[in-house]
Structure 1
């Protein structure tokens, strides 16, 4: 492994070569999907071709067609080594984040699990726009728009491969780990955090309900407001998931059953679940599984995505190496979506 290792462009986690840790936690880190763009043609669908602009250090689409004729194609693959992926269907070996020669298709490498996570995020948006066009102020509302945002982050390289793509928050701390030889055993806390399954979280609902506190009459937490809204209103916010769409798999039957057992402070629970730091493994406001914390981190990474949130590099590329972070491992930079417009 080491510095030639490739990292997911949605969450910043490492792709592992098959056979490294089979049948162990984190097995889903072996399963990448390559995203590329295609367009309608006379004989069916053709791959879009991209080129590297000499002297500009950017990638551009060759012979662009109407965006309505284009879409994002997701292909299952296997990570080999040194930024080589084997596409399962075609048997072709291709690199990610890099144009080969004068022109070639361009592939973005993500974990296969994230197709579901991205679709869940898009479903949570008030409106879905199945187009590539997106303003620099809007959240993504389609896979096409997420492709476009990540494409604009690419540090285009004409010589040498790019192994990881920058993110406005450094993936909330993960990019700092790209500067060392990544081994899951090097840092036990980070290893368990990264390898925890974020889709199938064991006993997710039970773990959340374990954080419920009694709603003692006359005793209100400082984190809870006055009785402007009753607890049933906050309960409904939790159960409908509109406030917390990343909890799509919350078991409503279990939550209703818990509600019938007493008077509970649903307001405090919802507000804590909405807190800005619950993605951090060391956060003490709630007791949550690491897989759920990692899910919330990645949800935030998608939610932060804005067109132009990473300035494309001008000048020779640094072969994809990240800039060292300062401060706490989990600290990130303020994303464009949260920066003041004043």
Structure 2
């Protein structure tokens, strides 16, 4: 099974039984995009600075002209782990996949004639995940390093480079070496998706992680169903004074003050009641503070407000709703016998939101947390052998994807758990 390089979910072959309910739910996983770089920036840098032999080599200029941006090619996942490219332009309705078959996420090499055997280097991802990544890049927030699809490409390309280095550094790699690099946060997947050491092995088709993140059903109505009425308010003199001064400011100054809440970090869950409720409602529908809710139905929100106004004493608590929706998925730190206890989902576990929206929030967060070089190769310990030295990895770009000069090699990681077992082993001889 192949996996999406962005969300870690499976890439599925198209089924002939499209009338099955579970096939309809999983259809989004069959829509695959292969990303590739026509400028071959990574391969050029790798060859230019190979092995650090030319530290004095001149700095390369990779200003991208028209036609050299990261390319997206739709493809169909085929049995045997290969992909068949579409035979027409991306976005053409009912495009037929009549192009050549290619591999993805595989290290390219040279044949006997010193020609590249795999060109270009394809990275496979769900079409939905690529769309979310592009949306993240289009509305950058404080603390987010992904500013373009090119940055996403560099993040993923260096992750696969770390995997390749890790496999090559293994003195006795498995015949079927892991084809995908598992992130430390486990892609924020529930523990059951790692059962038996196989990602997604026990995932049920109806689980929220399997739901379409682009088209969740009735998402606006489901979000509004979480609105709670405001309780009796007894504003302190300080809060009343702040609101009076805030509402007298020009609208552009009010917007400037509120803009400081536009951050990738979750808002504190405790309501302060400093801002008027109308501002919190605007945060929900504007898309600036909760950009992953890009499809909120403004008309449905206004209808809800009209019905709420008809019932005295039932003013909805927009502040509580916005603060709750801003919460992130977090991995529990608690462990039992070195086994992770699973996933804590904050509001998205307790709130009544569509499964597709929960999955979208997960993928959005994964992209916002990306940075170039966020994965390093690990020196694995096999059996009772001594821990090998950590492998090194070249650093061609900084965390934002800007070229680094001169190129340095970053030390990888040691498998601390395996090293601990080896050090405690009675078979060890000093």
CA contact (8 A) 1:38 1:72 kept: yes
Say whether 1:240 aligns with 2:256.
Answer: no
Q: 1:180 aligned to 178, 198, 208, which one?
A: 198
> Which structure has the larger Rg over C-alpha atoms?
2
Partners of 1:283 and 1:248 in 2: how far apart?
17
Q: 2:358 aligned to 274, 282, 293, which one?
A: 293
1:307 alignment partner in structure 2: 372
Deviation sequence 1:99-145 (CA, Å, 0-9, x none): 34323221110012233222221221169xxxxxxxxx751110000
CA contact (8 A) 1:152 1:312 kept: no
Q: 1:274 aligned to 289, 304, 326, which one?
A: 326
1:73 alignment partner in structure 2: 71
Deviation of 1:200 after TM superposition, in Å, equals 1.0
Say whether 1:30 aligns with 2:48.
Answer: no
Where structure 2 has 5 or more consecutive residues not aligned to the other structure, the ranges are: 52-59, 88-97, 111-115, 169-174, 236-267, 310-314, 331-343, 382-398, 401-430
2:274 alignment partner in structure 1: 228
Partners of 1:113 and 1:299 in 2: how far apart?
11
2:257 alignment partner in structure 1: none
Count of residues in Structure 1 that have an aligned counterpart in Structure 2: 289
TM-score, structure 2 length as denominator? 0.59
1:12 alignment partner in structure 2: 8
Runs of 4+ in 1 over 6 A off after TM superposition: 50-53, 158-161
Deviation of 1:33 after TM superposition, in Å, equals 0.8
Deviation of 1:272 after TM superposition, in Å, equals 0.7
Partners of 2:370 and 2:324 in 1: how far apart?
24
Alpha-carbon distance change, 182 to 229 in structure 1, aligned in 2, over 3 angstroms: closer
Q: 1:205 aligned to 189, 201, 220, which one?
A: 220
Alpha-carbon distance change, 161 to 122 in structure 1, aligned in 2, over 3 angstroms: same
Compare the two structures and name the one with the higher helix fraction: 2
SS of the counterpart of 2:69? strand
Higher relative contact order (CA 8 A, sep 6+): 1
Alpha-carbon distance change, 16 to 178 in structure 1, aligned in 2, over 3 angstroms: farther
Partners of 2:41 and 2:16 in 1: how far apart?
32
Partners of 2:17 and 2:189 in 1: how far apart?
24
1:139 alignment partner in structure 2: 145
Matches for 1:312-327 after TM superposition, within 5 Å: 312-313=377-378
Partners of 2:106 and 2:159 in 1: how far apart?
12
Partners of 1:266 and 1:166 in 2: how far apart?
38
Partners of 2:203 and 2:378 in 1: how far apart?
31
Where structure 1 has 5 or more consecutive residues not aligned to the other structure, the ranges are: 40-45, 57-63, 128-136, 317-335, 338-342
CA contact (8 A) 1:35 1:109 kept: yes
Partners of 2:199 and 2:183 in 1: how far apart?
20
